[in-house]
Structure 1
Amino acid sequence: MGEALNTQMGEVSLEDGRTPFGKQMLKHFRFDPNFINLNQGSFGAFPHVVRQKQREYQDACERRPDPFIRYDYPRLLDVSRAAIAKVLNAPLSTIVFVPNVTTGVNTIIRNIVWNTDGKDEILFFSTAYGACANTIDYISEVHHNLVQPRLIDLTYPVEDLDLLDSFKQAIKASRAVGKRPRLAMFDTVSSLPGVRMPFESLTAICKEEGIFSLIDGAHGVGHLPLDLSALDPDFFTSNAHKWFFVPRGCAVLYVPERNQPLIRSSLPTSHGFVSKSGRAFRNPLPPSSKSEYVNNFEFVGTIDNTNYLVIPEAIEFRKNVCGGEEAIMEYCSKLAKEGGEAVARILGTNIMDNSTGTLTRGCCIVNVLLPLEISPSKVPGQNCIDPGNGMLATQWMEQTLTTDFKTFLPIYFFQEKWWTRLSAQIYLELADFEWAGAALKAICERAGKGEFLNVSEKV
């Protein structure tokens, strides 16, 4: 890999003149010098060189809007599709872009034709991303319960074998009451808590059981090694703007050719749609010989999609400046583990993991328990929050981290405890996590003293 990491993280020796991981890597990004970005996992960040290339495409579009949108854009889009397809080891014919994973999940679920006997079910876990879980409930509502959700409750830290057993039991329970488990949605790495799921084994079970697998890979490309040809899910969607260093609003949607006839329309429906009625409305775009699936997603209404075009620049940056995917993932996953443990030591708590370490295996995010307790009365030596003030305290802590500490960390209440999620990235070092530990300790102490009760006065 051309890079040696020591136990302190951030001190690196380079063999090829690349930018060292850690503080020196910040020169490639546009962060406020006073802001420490410990939350790459929510909205991502991308380097100057990618931003510059996107501006070039935007300028080219402004100089000659019609020629760019009608002729240049489709060609450049195919180049970008081919580049990300290679990273994912997926056939080009299976790869299109959507704005985000939420759109990808909606596109898949809204295209499935549900059986009219009311027996279809969608299986998903209690840690599913809220927007995607809401989509399942919405689909059930608008289809008047022709398809119903089946929630699989998880208690963490869960072992992979127990999670897989819960999944199998849910399938069995569905069929025992005369239902048809039709589709299962699960994550590569869930959002909150940010832990790795055994998505490979879940995909294999779906294949064995004849259930469509829909993988929410929001924390996917750029975060974990992915080989879609080997994994062979029925549907997969992954944000490129979180971990792959492209501008926000760029996600991959993968549908193998066997399932493409099921995906009749993009979201929203646009010129690529081919109606079964035989009607063909005027398409103002140039003719294309591409597949119906690819055509559906090439132009989905007028919007600035230059963020889709800079995948090749992101790949070049990751390769030439960072040393490639393996080097990035190894550094970030190691920093997440060591940094999370450092924060836990400062707080006197622990990170979220199971006995086999699979929840954090290869993950670039880590969850740390906060020293806060739910209690109607004060307990000596503890930071206590009244049960009725949990949401207020959480919102205050997140906002105060931004105003008083110039950072942001997701703080969430899970299984009767408060946790925080930290993201490791190439521009961070162990010292940044130690600083975060001190900030979190201070914010928890202030919350324990009830400072959040004065929030209305601050606002």
Structure 2
Amino acid sequence: MSDNLARQFLLREDVVFLNHGSFGACPRPVFEAYQGWQLELEREPVEFLGRRLHDLLRAPREALAAELGCGSEDIVGVLNATTGLNIVARSLDLKPGDQILTTDHEYSALEKTWAYVCRKTGAEIVVVKVPMPLTSEAAFTDAIIAGMTERTRVLFLSHITSPTALLFPIENAIAEARRRGIWSVIDGAHTPGHIKLDLEGIGADFYSGNCHKWMMTPKGSAFLHARPEVQGLLDPLVISHGWTAESKAPGAKGAFGNSPFIDEIEIQGTRDPAPWLTVPAAIQFRKDNDWWGVAAHCHALAQDTARQLGELTGLAPLSSPEFCAPQMVAMPIPECDPLVVHTTLFERYGIEIPVFRWQDRCIARLSVQGYNSRPQMDRLIDALSELLELGAPQIAAQG
């Protein structure tokens, strides 16, 4: 990408940052909007938090709903996708013997969330092994449906997986879950701003995603979407001023005149709302800079880099291109000590990229965002070529 675009970000110039997928990176104009909201709050905290906040929170909901294809009354701001999914997981009425159907590609924090829920409720987790490499929507859907039983109450899937950077074709599995009366809960942590979303078209009961990753808001900005028919199932993690004793009654309103779904989750004690309030600014930044065009360039760069590394290692990719996340790719590397490779890439080459073991594979997960360039990809290839060719015996010996 152009140097001018890279200069709009705040990243250190001495680091090749190839890990946007973990925490994102916020462009300068959006960060300035964030600081502007924080300054406005501090100038008159009581007015801002006590009298204005519940009205101010409406604009991010409306802007995000228009961007993601849903009604503004069906989406609410949360701290992160893990929080949104915890709200769902800990609200559903599960009993001993009920099953939560999921895959072997899920994010570890949510694996722990469901394990916690099972310990509390007596429900069970059933893990489907996704056929690999992922090259067929039908094979994916068939594997998920084959795991469904009369005891399945929840289908929990990532839309884009964290460890393997796969774009799961979830729509048909969700439709089958709906037909069987199974709640569908989708981890969309990596999807807003990464792929074009139509939440109503996807049809999941519950969907939570981060804005602070690929949409590039400041950290601590995410959403929970719930279909109107299932919003009444949810309880907030924190009871605060948005809650009312009548919240479960038909047609009930929250304390600030919105639905209980919105008021109970949005108003949960004193916090910094600035990251969520910058959602409109982040959406505008993306429009001003033709970010879907930027993303297309990043996709090509990511795929080309993965192809080059594959030719170097001789290792097959985890999926065909259509099932790989557009700007993020999990690249298999030869057997090694992942921690040593990760640390050496950073300390010797100034490259920030996650390297880890997933099942029986060693993975380097590449993220490509608008501030990255082809020379940076070449630097990564050169570094891995040197490390894996000349340093592999020593690295492997430390495992």
Same fold flag (TM > 0.5): yes
Corresponding residue for residue 17 of structure 1: none
**1:107-129 CA distance string (max 9 Å, x none):** 101011224xx232111101111
Specify which of 164, 168, 184 is matched with residue 197 of structure 1.
168
Corresponding residue for residue 18 of structure 1: none
Residue 400 (structure 1) aligned with residue 377 (structure 2): no
Tell me how far 1:71 sits from its aligned partner: 2.3
Aligned residue type for 2:369: Q
Q: Quick one: distance in 2 between partners of 1:156 and 1:35?
A: 34
Corresponding residue for residue 253 of structure 1: 224
Corresponding residue for residue 82 of structure 1: 62
Aligned partner of residue 122 in structure 1, secondary structure: strand
Residue 160 (structure 1) aligned with residue 137 (structure 2): yes
Corresponding residue for residue 232 of structure 1: 203
For 1:158-307, list aligned pairs within 5 A. Answer: 158=134, 159-171=136-148, 174-175=149-150, 180-265=151-236, 267-275=237-245, 288-307=256-275
Q: Is the 8 A contact 1:46 1:246 kept in 2?
A: yes
Corresponding residue for residue 138 of structure 1: 116
**1:159-188 CA distance string (max 9 Å, x none):** 3322211111111xx33xxxx211111011
Count of matched residue pairs: 393
Aligned partner of residue 335 in structure 1, secondary structure: helix
Aligned residue type for 1:293: F
Q: Is the 8 A contact 1:365 1:424 kept in 2?
A: yes
Tell me how far 1:243 sits from its aligned partner: 0.2
Q: Quick one: distance in 2 between partners of 1:216 and 1:277?
A: 26
Structure whose CA Rg is larger:
1
Q: Quick one: distance in 2 between partners of 1:291 and 1:344?
A: 51
Aligned partner of residue 111 in structure 1, secondary structure: coil
Corresponding residue for residue 379 of structure 1: none
For 1:425-444, list aligned pairs within 5 A. Answer: 425-444=369-388
Tell me how far 1:217 sits from its aligned partner: 0.4
Specify which of 336, 340, 351 is matched with residue 302 of structure 2.
336
Structure 1 residues 277, 254: closer, same or farther in 2, change over 3 A?
closer
Aligned residue type for 1:182: R
* TM-score, normalised with respect to structure 2: 0.92
* TM-score, normalised with respect to structure 1: 0.81
Unaligned regions of 5+ residues in structure 2, if any?
Answer: 249-253
Q: Is the 8 A contact 1:343 1:434 kept in 2?
A: no
**1:291-346 CA distance string (max 9 Å, x none):** 111111222222212100001111111011x214x323322222221222133334
Q: Quick one: distance in 2 between partners of 1:346 and 1:29?
A: 32
Structure 1 residues 97, 40: closer, same or farther in 2, change over 3 A?
same
Q: Is the 8 A contact 1:104 1:253 kept in 2?
A: yes
Aligned residue type for 1:292: P
Q: Quick one: distance in 2 between partners of 1:454 and 1:169?
A: 41
Unaligned regions of 5+ residues in structure 1, if any?
Answer: 1-20, 279-285, 374-384, 386-392
Corresponding residue for residue 251 of structure 2: none
**1:198-232 CA distance string (max 9 Å, x none):** 11222122122221111100111100110112122
Tell me how far 1:347 sits from its aligned partner: 4.1
- Identity within the alignment, %: 27
Q: Quick one: distance in 1 between partners of 2:351 and 2:304?
A: 20
Instruction: Report the RMSD for the aligned CA atoms in angstroms.
Output: 2.2
**1:113-150 CA distance string (max 9 Å, x none):** 224xx23211110111111111111111112x1x2111
Q: Quick one: distance in 1 between partners of 2:308 and 2:375?
A: 9
